[in-house]
Amino acid sequence: MLAIDTWRAANDPTGHALVRPHFTLVFASNAVDAATYLAHVAAVAARTAPIAFHCRYAMLGTDAHSPRAHAYLVPDEGYAALSLLHDALYTSALADALRLDLPYTPHITVGTFESAPQARAWCAARNQAGVSVPGQVAALWVGQVVDGRFEHRGQFELIG
């Protein structure tokens, strides 16, 4: 994960300082209270086995509402398992919070750039050199950004 930390420090210093490299599986929601949210995440974690992944592709990520763009590492190994975990989290108490207008792509953000061409060039250079970042998702962390800081609310080991 050293490469990810180096890339994030250089290309996304704000995100790098805020939170460790991660796959975002659920976005913030006011659909349920905190206790219900945490209990649901704990239940899903209890029936989910750890997920091995291997990222071999740097992908451009754009936002229709901003000229800025992102560089993502996308797993080829573990893609389906991470997507299924995302789907499992958006059931029961969180079912109504799922945004169907935003397709889910598991990724680790490694850069934020002023423009899509800059992000695309960075991704192309990484892909040309070869990307190889293996790892394992062994726990689900719940938290939120408050006043520019990440506040940790819970951690649930994948034990299924």
Contact (CB, 8 A) for 26 and 112: no
Within a domain: 121: no
The dihedral built from the CA positions of residue 65, 67, 70 and 71, taken in this order, carries a sign that is positive
pLDDT tens-digit readout, 22-75: 999 998 788 899 999 999 999 999 999 999 999 999 999 998 889 999 999 999
CATH number at 21 reads: 3.90.1140.10
Mean pLDDT of 139-158: 94
Mean pLDDT of 120-132: 98
H helices of 28-134, in order, are 34-46, 79-89, 116-129
Q: Does residue 1 have a pLDDT over 70?
A: no
Within a domain: 124: no
Position 2 scores a pLDDT of 73
Q: Does residue 86 have a pLDDT over 80?
A: yes
Position 25 scores a pLDDT of 97
Within a domain: 90: yes
Domain extent for 79? 2-53+75-106+132-157
User: Would you say the pTM of this structure is higher than 0.85?
Assistant: yes
Q: How far apart are the first and last CA of the chain?
A: 25
Torsion of the alpha carbons at 156, 157, 158 and 160, rounded to the nearest 10: -100
Mean pLDDT of 124-130: 98
Mean pLDDT of 138-160: 94
Could you give the number of structural domains in the chain?
Answer: 1
Within a domain: 60: no
